[in-house]
Structure 1
Amino acid sequence: MKDDETRAREALRRLLEKVPIVEIEGITSEAASSQSQPDLVARLLVDGRPRVLVCEYESNGQPRYARSALLVLHDYAQRTPHATPVFMAPYISPAVRQLCEEKGVAYLDLEGNARIAFGGVFIERIVAENSGAEQRELKSLFRPKSAQVLRAMLRAPGRSWRVTDLSEVSGVSLGHVSNVRTALIDREWALASPEGLLLSKPDELLDAWRDSYKAPSGERMRFYTPLHGTALEDAARSVLSTGDGSGHAAFASFSAAHWLAPYGRTGTHYFYADHEGVEKMRGALRLAPASKGENVLITVPKDAGLLADTVEPAPGAICTDPIQTYLDLSIAGERGAEAAEHLRREKLSWPK
């Protein structure tokens, strides 16, 4: 038996040992002798009456693998008297826990989350909403290169994508696009069809991205400008719209939302820019460095894709795309969260 399956057996044993009316007769590995047998079988006595837990362990607990395991478990349970099916994995997300409940299958993961009911026994424990492994996987999915793929897909959620087309549009390698494709399918956020990869649950994808989002890495620069209102906007647009190929900048956060889905003005103006773009803005906006009292914040991101994935809702008003603007607003305090939800309603609504 693999190490993880050994850990699964011991986790099941520890959980059952805490129930006074349960006597464990044995927990054995059946799959080693036959492919048509469950990974683990726990034979129990509950107040003297026999009960059996038939368990299937998956090294990946994502919905794609869980669904097939649940079908197998139902077959095992039907062939075994007094049996309760149990799905096991290193981590079982809330979505998969709900799926298990809907299918009438108990569950236990190696983080300690469990819901098992049999013969008058009911065990339920929630100890980890986001495991370390799950967080690492999501962090990988939302890294800059992957984010370029996701932004492209979310901009056209009804489109079926070939890997080669998605690679070309996003500017990301075929191998990296393939990894993103697998992660989306595993979580059932996308479906593979003969026509290509199609986002099936864009809202769930965006929710997960928002919940794990951190501000982009990069240099944050604080300035003061004497310009205000239309004068500042016109000066900024004159810089952002220059097409000479040297220096790039874009409205970001609240400033991008002002053009995309106005919600309310702030006294501070936000931009992403490369270093040449910063120098252009210094002159056009008459910027002076400020340690306090700043009204212009410019981030020079390490992720060049943020300045490549832009939109122009008005002439010269180059803005971070609605997805990136939504994410940045979502971590900008209570007012930012409100502006984010307004932007989402206006620009990021998809058919259910």
Structure 2
Amino acid sequence: MKEAEARAGQALRELLEKIPILQVERIEAAVVSDDWAPALIARLLVNGRQHLLICEYKSNGQPRYARSVLLELRNYVAQRAPDATPVFIAPYISPAVRQLCEEKAVGYLDLEGNARIAFGGVFIERVVTDKPAAEQRELKSLFRPKSAQVLRAMLREPSRAWRVTELSEVSEVSLGHVSNVRTGLIDREWARASDDGLILSEPGALLDAWRDSYTAPPGERLRFYTPLHGSALEEAARGALGNKGAPGRAVFASFSAAQWLAPYARTGTHYFFADTDGLRKLQEALKLAPASKGENVIVLVPKDEGLLADTVEPAPGAVCTSPVQSYLDLSIAGERGVEAADHLRQEKLSWPK
């Protein structure tokens, strides 16, 4: 038995031995044959009656790999052991794959402790709330600035089929990096490969995961006071943002962007992203004065300049962060921000299933 499968067998034994009515007779590797065979077979006594768990272990529990395993397990049980219970085992099984297991009537166990196995009068279910460090690292990598540039491009045109070279050119990211993003999306079944290229199959699930992992963009956060209000402030801001002749970029962000994209609730503070030259344009146009308290303008000078390239202009001069970026920023802006984010998503980021 391979070392990884031995660990899987030990984790299964430790789980089962906690159930008083179960007795684990043995957990063994299946006999090798030319046909598909499971990694492990657990032989149990349940109140004196024999029962089998037919288990397959995979080192990757992402949906792309899990789906075929579940089919193989179901077929094996149907043909060889109709009274047995199929069980999928992996280092980590995401909530999406757990749901898939339930839909296919396959039990599951991961080495982080998540489990659901049901048969006869036995029902075992355990949920561990924390994601393993490796999974967190993979997700963070998928949403880091360079990768995010690829995702933003795809979410702008979610039904488009993209060649890797096209994505590289549009997102200004290397071919190798685009290929890594492609693999991550396909493994999680958020995208699929077609003859025409890569297509987002689950843009909503991708955005959900991005939102759940999202943190405020790093950069210098500056607080100012402007004496301008209402239409005077709006006109001055649009003049500065839409002035392509002067150096620098600045855009409406967060609540201020949402007011143009999907108005929901006004705030007394105005939000912008800007580079250094764009900040100077804002300071001059809005008559900004630094404020340690009582500020009504907040400007983020982000380290990731890709945020300033992913923009929309719903009205002349009203240059805003894209709906996706605005949604992410609102999602971490407190209760009112979450409400505004939900409204923005309903209006601008709803995709057919």
2:192 aligned residue: 191
- For 1:90 and 1:13, the matched residues in 2 are separated by 15
Look up the match of 1:240.
241
Correspondences of 1:248-259 after superposition (within 5 Å): 248-259=249-260
Asked if the contact 1:50–1:82 (Cα under 8 Å) also holds between the matched residues in 2, the reply is no
Query: Which secondary structure state, in structure 2, belongs to the residue aligned with residue 257 of structure 1?
Result: helix
Q: Which amino acid aligns with 1:72?
A: E
Percent of counterpart pairs with the same letter? 73
Could you tell me which residue of structure 1 aligns to residue 319 of structure 2?
A: 318
Query: Which whole-Å deviations, capped at 9, do the CAs of 1:40-87 have from their partners, x for residues lacking one?
Result: 111122222221111111111111111111111123323136421100
CA distance in 2, matches of 1:334, 1:81: 51
Query: What amino acid maps onto 1:50 in structure 2?
Result: Q
Q: Which segments of 5 or more consecutive residues in structure 2 lack a partner in the other structure?
A: none
CA separation in 1, counterparts of 2:278 and 2:35?
Answer: 62
Counterpart residue number, 1:6: 6
Residue 47 (structure 2) pairs with residue 52 (structure 1): no
User: Kindly tell me: are residues 87 and 163 of structure 1, through their superposed partners in 2, closer, same or farther at Cα, counting changes over 3 Å?
Assistant: same
> Which digits, 9 at most, give the CA deviation of each residue in 1:272-310, with x for residues without a partner?
011121122212211111111001100011111000111
Q: Greater shift after overlay, 210-219 or 117-126?
A: 117-126
User: Secondary structure of 2:54's partner?
Assistant: strand
Task: Give the number of equivalent residue pairs.
Answer: 352
Q: Deviations over 1:157-185 (max 9, x none)?
A: 11111111111111111111111111111
TM (normalized to structure 1)?
0.95
Contact 1:158–1:198 (CA under 8 A) maintained in structure 2: yes
Deviation sequence 1:192-218 (CA, Å, 0-9, x none): 110111111111111111122111111
Q: Please tell me whether the aligned partners of residues 86 and 106 of structure 1 are also in contact (alpha carbons under 8 angstroms).
A: yes
Work out whether residues 251 and 271 of structure 1, in 8 Å CA contact, stay in contact via their aligned partners in 2.
yes
Superposition deviation, residue 130 in structure 1: 3.2
Aligned-residue offset at 1:2:
4.5
Q: Which residue of 2 aligns with 1:218?
A: 219
Question: Greater CA deviation, 339-348 or 292-301?
Answer: 339-348
CA distance in 1, matches of 2:237, 2:3: 59
Q: Which amino acid aligns with 1:88?
A: I
Please state whether the residue corresponding to 1:179 is helix, strand or coil: helix
Match in the other structure for 2:183: 182
Report if the CA contact (8 A) 1:94-1:129 is conserved: no
The alignment's C-alpha RMSD in Å is 1.7
User: Would the aligned equivalents of 1:223 and 1:295 in 2 still touch at CA under 8 Å?
Assistant: yes
- When structure 1 is superposed on structure 2, of 112-121 and 219-228 the one drifting more is 112-121
Residue 244 of structure 1 deviates from its aligned partner by 3.2
Amino acid of the structure 2 residue aligned with 1:184: L
Number of the residue aligned with 1:277: 278
1:134-154 Cα shifts (integer Å, max 9, x gaps): 222211111111111111111
Cα distance per residue 1:108-155 (max 9 Å; x no partner)? 111111111234222111123633332222111111111111111111
Q: Which moved more, 1:295-304 or 1:128-137?
A: 128-137
Q: Is the 8 A contact 1:41 1:55 kept in 2?
A: yes
Write the distance in 2 (CA, Å) between the matches of 1:283 and 1:136: 42
Q: Is the partner of 1:172 in helix, strand or coil?
A: coil
Equivalent residue runs for 1:95-244 within 5 Å: 95-128=96-129, 130-244=131-245
Q: Which amino acid aligns with 1:188?
A: E
Secondary structure of the residue that 1:73 maps to in structure 2? helix
Residue 242 of structure 1: how far off its partner (Å): 1.9
Q: In 2, Cα distance between the equivalents of 1:259 and 1:238?
A: 15
The aligned residue for residue 269 of structure 2 is 268
1:227–1:162 CA distance, 2 compared to 1 (3 A): same
| Whole-Å separation in 2 of the counterparts to 1:350 and 1:140 | 25
Q: 1:282 to 1:105 in 2, by over 3 A?
A: same
Amino acid at match of 1:16: L
Cα shift at 1:31: 6.7
CA gap of 1:299–1:121, structure 2 versus 1, over 3 A, is same
Is the contact between residue 225 and residue 288 of structure 1 (CA under 8 Å) also seen in structure 2?
Answer: yes
Contact 1:116–1:122 under 8 Å retained in 2? yes
Q: Is the 8 A contact 1:23 1:46 kept in 2?
A: yes
- Secondary structure (helix, strand or coil) at the match of 1:74 reads helix
Rounded to whole Å, the distance in 2 between the matches of 1:151 and 1:265 is 26
In 2, the alpha carbon distance for the partners of 1:193 and 1:21 equals 49
SS in 2 for 1:37: coil
Q: 1:50 aligns to what SS in structure 2?
A: strand
Matched residue SS, 1:231: helix
Write the distance in 1 (CA, Å) between the matches of 2:120 and 2:343.
50
Alignment partners' CA distance in 1, 2:162 and 2:246: 30
Cα deviation for residue 33 of structure 1 reads 7.3
- Is 1:73 the counterpart of 2:73 in the alignment? yes
Letter in 1 for 2:51: R
TM-score for both structures, normalised by structure 2: 0.95
